[in-house]
Amino acid sequence: MNFINRYLYLTIGLTLLFSNCRPATKVVAEKPKKPLNIILLIGDGMGLAQISAASVMNGGLFLELFSIIGLVKTSSADDYITDSAAGATAYSTGEKTYNGAIGLGVDSMPRITILEMAEKNGLSTGLISTCSVTHATPGSFFGHQKNREMHKEIAADFYGKGIDFMAGTGKPYFDVDKLKNQYNYNILTGKGPYKFDALSQHIWFYNDSIHPPKAAERGPWLLDATNAGISYLSNNKKGFFLMVEGSQIDWGGHDNDLNYMASELVDFDKAVKAALDFAKKDGNTLVIVTADHETGGLSLNAGSIADKKIDASFASKHHSGIMVPIYAYGPGAELFQGTMENTDVFKKMKTLYGF
């Protein structure tokens, strides 16, 4: 114990002693607040420049409603610059791994994910993405494969896991008959919105294709899917875990297309608002919003808030190493203040769930 700790303990001890001397004051140890539900929203490639640009271009963002904010270091085990597989695996398993790995450690052995832990503990679980659900970010929450390109193998990892709700694209990678007949999933395909009964588990494919359309064509699909997922999963009194990904913010960055990036971010921001609205009403839900990494080395060079215009340039067509913001609201949100490693996000979620 160092001097600062001794001093702290002494001060706390004296404070407790003296407060006990006053008959009117009762000292009650404050219990750490724990959520029943966690909604983790990942804006793939959503750095601070992306958020700043989209805020100007959209005249503000719901993200700005959060008051608890931190910063996340994103590097992977084998590269300062992470890819989305290692980035999502850090969030899902609490371990840094090599770029391209889906739910595996550096030894290529599977690691249990926060979603799998939630399932084992009797919670309901869900995944929503605006890309194939076998893609690196959603895939790393249920899949365990050596390479992110192994979409069919990642899809096969989904079977029998008990995941309650999934929405996205990637239907051709899945054995739909097996999901329906062997695992009793209700499979819906189309734009929706759908009403989901509380009795069966649901998979909602946006279309029959692997590829999703951009936000302008999707309309409010991500918002609808997020609202549907929350209302379905919240039937479980034991709680739920839901991951929602704004997948194509990253693709706009890779394309060095500011408008594509910003429209995907604004679309994702609406899902954030839906999660926040539920959490405010519910009181037992922690909402976490972050990114796996920044994409494109976006730099904002000039702009006009009045005209909602940004003059930006991209430094690359790849990811960058800059820290990304993390926002939190609800029970346990205060744990997400300060600067942390991406792996810490898993550890904090695990602690808060009590797994």
Q: Tell whether residue 245 is a contact of Zn ion (CB under 5 A).
A: no
Q: Which 246-275 positions form the footprint of Zn ion (CB under 5 A)? A: 250
HSE-up of residue 187 (Cα within 13 Å, Cβ side): 17
Judged by CB under 5 A, the residue of 132, 247, 263, 290 near Mg ion is 247
76 is catalytic: no
Between 137 and 285, whose beta carbon lies closer to Mg ion? 137
Cα(226)–Cα(192) distance, rounded to whole angstroms?
12
- What does DSSP say about strands 165-169 and 201-205: parallel, antiparallel, or unpaired? parallel
Nearest in space to 251 (alpha carbons), one of 265, 241, 239: 265
Neighbours of 166 (CB within 10 A): 26
Structure tokens that stand for 130 in this block: 């605006």
Cα(278)–Cα(35) distance, rounded to whole angstroms?
13
Per the residue annotation, which of 84, 140, 247, 263 is the catalytic one? 84
Between 224 and 250, whose beta carbon lies closer to Zn ion? 250
Q: Tell whether residue 294 is a contact of Zn ion (CB under 5 A).
A: no
The CB-of-254 to Mg ion minimum distance in angstroms stands at 11
β-bridge partners, 294:
320
DSSP 121-158: TT-EEEEEEEEETTSHHHHTTT--BS-TT-HHHHHHTT
Between 264 and 344, whose beta carbon lies closer to Mg ion? 264
Q: Determine the interface stretch with Mg ion among 38-46, 233-241, 302-310, 338-346 (rule: CB under 5 A).
A: 38-46
The CB-of-345 to Zn ion minimum distance in angstroms stands at 19
Cα(178)–Cα(175) distance, rounded to whole angstroms?
5
Cα(141)–Cα(128) distance, rounded to whole angstroms?
11
Structure tokens that stand for 193 in this block: 């919105």
Residue 47 DSSP label: -
Between 37 and 134, whose beta carbon lies closer to Mg ion? 134
Between 148 and 202, whose beta carbon lies closer to Zn ion? 148
Q: Which of Zn ion, Mg ion, none interacts with 82 (beta carbon under 5 to 8 A by kind)?
A: none
Q: Which 132-191 positions form the footprint of Mg ion (CB under 5 A)? A: 137
Q: Determine the interface stretch with Mg ion among 25-33, 83-91, 222-230, 256-264 (rule: CB under 5 A).
A: 83-91
The CB-of-138 to Mg ion minimum distance in angstroms stands at 7
Q: Would you give the binding string for Mg ion spanning residues 103-142, x where CB under 5 A is met?
A: ----------------------------------x-----
* Number of residue whose CB is nearest Zn ion: 250
The CB-of-194 to Zn ion minimum distance in angstroms stands at 30
Q: Which of Zn ion, Mg ion, none interacts with 247 (beta carbon under 5 to 8 A by kind)?
A: Mg ion
Measuring CA to CA, how many Å separate 225 from each of 80, 169, 307?
34, 12, 32
The CB-of-71 to Zn ion minimum distance in angstroms stands at 20
Nearest in space to 111 (alpha carbons), one of 126, 91, 82: 91
Cα(159)–Cα(204) distance, rounded to whole angstroms?
15
Between 87 and 229, whose beta carbon lies closer to Mg ion? 87
Residue 247 DSSP label: T
Q: Tell whether residue 44 is a contact of Mg ion (CB under 5 A).
A: yes
Between 180 and 317, whose beta carbon lies closer to Zn ion? 317
40 in helix, strand or coil? Answer: strand
The CB-of-140 to Mg ion minimum distance in angstroms stands at 9
Size of the site for Mg ion (CB under 5 A): 4
The CB-of-80 to Zn ion minimum distance in angstroms stands at 15
β-bridge partners, 94:
none
Cα(341)–Cα(335) distance, rounded to whole angstroms?
13
Residues that bind Mg ion (CB under 5 A): 44, 84, 137, 247
Task: Please list the active-site residues.
Answer: 84
Residues that bind Zn ion (CB under 5 A): 250
